[in-house]
Amino acid sequence: MRKEFLPFALPLIEEDEIAEVVDTLRSNWITTGPKTKRFEEAFKDYVGAKNAIAVNSCTAGLHLALAALEIGPGDEVIVPSFTFAATANTVVHVGARPVFADIDEQTLCLDPADVEKKITPKTKAITLVHYAGRPGPIDEIMAIARKHGLKVIEDAAHAIYTKSRGRMIGSIGDITAFSFYATKNLVTAEGGMVTTNDDSLADKIRIMSLHGMSRDAWQRYSATGSWRYDVIYAGFKYNMTDIQASLGLHQLAKLERFQKLRKQLVDRYNEGLAQVEGLILPEDRIEPEDRHAWHLFTIRVQKEKFGIGRDELVEELKKANIGTSVHFIPVHLHPFYQTHYGTGKGDLPVTEKVFDEILSLPLYPKMSLQDMADVVDAVGAIAKTYA
């Protein structure tokens, strides 16, 4: 057994990020400024979108997307329930109603057929989550949206690096929001990015991200700036700081290396766990032109065959000094949604079935192959005990 606890997730911060943050701190410009601008430019080029707006979280990005599309009271937005709460919470924040659609059991992303069933005259948008970093059915969702005059928002919290049929996520839907939270593939501690090919939406999102002011502080306080500004929306305080952008610039530059390390771990996990009875591995079944970002490595525990269920396996792995996590507790089963929207067990059969079985194993570039082998050995040993 491992002597040291293996955390579920750890960021990989190296000397160049540290030096860049120190440089920012010494520069006298610590909030949104030149480094945020550079990070936006680099990110925009990376995903191939026309516009990128840096924000302080993916949640902020999702909120801005809905606000910029003028979605509000009386409107409905179709979202998966098999996601982090922010995907639905932000719909509530703008006063609209989240309508939950089920997922496809292979992709664990929205099931286009169920999405179509949930459309009503009040539906304004669909939010697609690319679960675990695997591309969701973006073309199918876009086709449904166009047919019904709806907008498509992509929650790409897991999907930096993800490609769908050769195109980078962030360059396809109407608005895409990325997360740079501490556990994500690219980290800025807290942070996010919104991308869109629509220039007027981009302007609106940028203005709304900083109090609805028509000019940002960097422009106002620079030598050529003026003190005047106009507030043209009741905007938010969602801007990214140059301290965060300092991390982001270097993390983006080394993303390819991080992704290679993730893929190497995934391949070994697949090899190591293939023989264990009662586990469903995250078979990608993705098309040749697709690319998986492997944000998460999720297994499904089939209690009958494996011997114990997911909850018991979590406890056994904890005893073996291995941290795990569950992505996600379905949003429609959380008390807030049950109380306010009357959702509950039985609404989404595939989501609920997958939730009962799913478990995320540690997967991050800072993990060694030995760490990964420890996880495989522990799972194998537990399987033997209960077989």
Three-class DSSP category at 220: helix
CA torsion 322-328-330-336 (nearest 10°) is 90
Min dist CB 189 to ligand PLP, Å, is 10
**Based on CB atoms, which residue is closest to ligand PLP, 84 or 297?**
84
**Based on CB atoms, which residue is closest to ligand PLP, 142 or 189?**
189
User: Where does the chain show beta strands of DSSP type E?
Assistant: 51-55, 76-80, 97-101, 123-129, 151-155, 163-164, 167-168, 175-179, 192-196, 279-280, 297-301, 358-361
Contact in structure between 317 and 5 (CB atoms under 8 Å): no
- CA 327 to CA 213: how far, in whole Å? 37
Going by C-alpha positions, the residue among 79, 22, 74, 131 that lies closest to residue 355 is: 131
**Based on CB atoms, which residue is closest to ligand PLP, 183 or 214?**
183
Min dist CB 55 to ligand PLP, Å, is 9
* Per annotation, catalytic residue among 44, 184, 204, 319: 184
**Based on CB atoms, which residue is closest to ligand PLP, 59 or 351?**
59
**Based on CB atoms, which residue is closest to ligand PLP, 187 or 207?**
187
**Based on CB atoms, which residue is closest to ligand PLP, 59 or 343?**
59
Is residue 184 among the annotated active site residues? yes
Q: In what order do the strands lie in the sheet with 297-301?
A: 279-280, 297-301, 358-361
Residue 76 CB partners (closer than 8 Å, separation 6+): 96, 97, 98, 99, 120, 122, 123, 124
Min dist CB 32 to ligand PLP, Å, is 17
Min dist CB 298 to ligand PLP, Å, is 12
Q: Which residue type, as a one-letter code, is found at position 73?
A: P
Going by C-alpha positions, the residue among 2, 8, 106, 4 that lies closest to residue 325 is: 8
CA torsion 208-210-216-218 (nearest 10°) is -150
Question: How, if at all, do strands 297-301 and 279-280 pair?
Answer: antiparallel
Instruction: List, in sequence order, every residue forming a beta bridge with 152; answer none if it has no partner.
Output: 126
**Based on CB atoms, which residue is closest to ligand PLP, 321 or 325?**
325
Look at the alpha carbons of 78, 83, 88, 90 in this order and tell me if their dihedral is positive or negative: negative
Contact in structure between 198 and 271 (CB atoms under 8 Å): no
- CA 170 to CA 147: how far, in whole Å? 21
Min dist CB 183 to ligand PLP, Å, is 7
Min dist CB 90 to ligand PLP, Å, is 9
Going by C-alpha positions, the residue among 278, 266, 271, 267 that lies closest to residue 384 is: 278
What does the binding site for ligand PLP look like in residue numbers (CB under 6 A)? 57-59, 83-84, 86-87, 129, 155, 157-158, 179, 181, 192
Q: Which residue has the tokens 């059991």?
A: 105
- CA 258 to CA 241: how far, in whole Å? 24
**Based on CB atoms, which residue is closest to ligand PLP, 17 or 374?**
17
Going by C-alpha positions, the residue among 259, 322, 295, 225 that lies closest to residue 29 is: 225
Min dist CB 13 to ligand PLP, Å, is 17
Min dist CB 48 to ligand PLP, Å, is 22
Residues labelled as active-site residues: 184
